[in-house]
Structures are given as C-alpha cells and as structure tokens.
Amino acid sequence: MVDVDGRVVYANGTAERLYGPASGDLVGAPLLDRLFTESEQVALSAVVGQVREGRPWQGRLDVRHGDGVVHQAGVSCSPLWRDDTVVGLLWVLDD
C-alpha cells in the first residue's frame, strides 16, 4: 500500500518473501524505484496518474526482486478512497 506520493506505507510478509528486503525496509521507500525497472517506471507514471483519478489498472510487468533479479509478475493497482478522495494506492503483485 502506498500513499498518493508513491511511498510505501504498508508491506506484508509476502512482499518481504518475494521482493527480498524486509517489509520494514520497504516502508517509507518509493515503490516504483524499489520494485520496478527503469523502463517499467516510465510506463507506470501514466498508470499511477490513472489510478490517482480513481481508475484501477492491471497488467504484467518486469519486477525487481530484492536480490536484483528481474522477473515478470501480474500487477494490479487500485485506488484507496476516503470521503470521495483517493488517499493511496493498493498494489498487488502476483509472482
């Protein structure tokens, strides 16, 4: 889960197992920089804008594991709402 600025506010144990760093290391970090390759980051900037407008997204992307290995994963991103305002983004990655 990330805030509207793209910083991780929560990461579960599965994120730790799949993406290497402890979830505590992820909290506060910019999600796009930590998990996605540079080429994917460029494409995801448009996705993040779409989700901030309230429209969910899903697809397959190259994701960087904590040890630096890149692999394909299913990715979905949905807006988190509070009082008709998007206050965060929920990212789900399926290895």
Q: What is the pLDDT of residues 11-60, one digit of tens each?
A: 888 776 676 655 557 788 898 888 888 888 888 989 999 999 999 999 99
Say if residue 88 is exposed, middle or buried (CB neighbours under 10 Å; 0-12, 13-18, 19+).
buried
The span from the CA of 73 to the CA of 45, in Å, is 18
Q: Strand runs (DSSP E) across 7-82, as ranges?
A: 57-64, 70-82
76: confidence class by pLDDT, cuts 50, 70, 90: very high
The span from the CA of 36 to the CA of 23, in Å, is 16
Rounded to two decimals, the pTM is 0.85
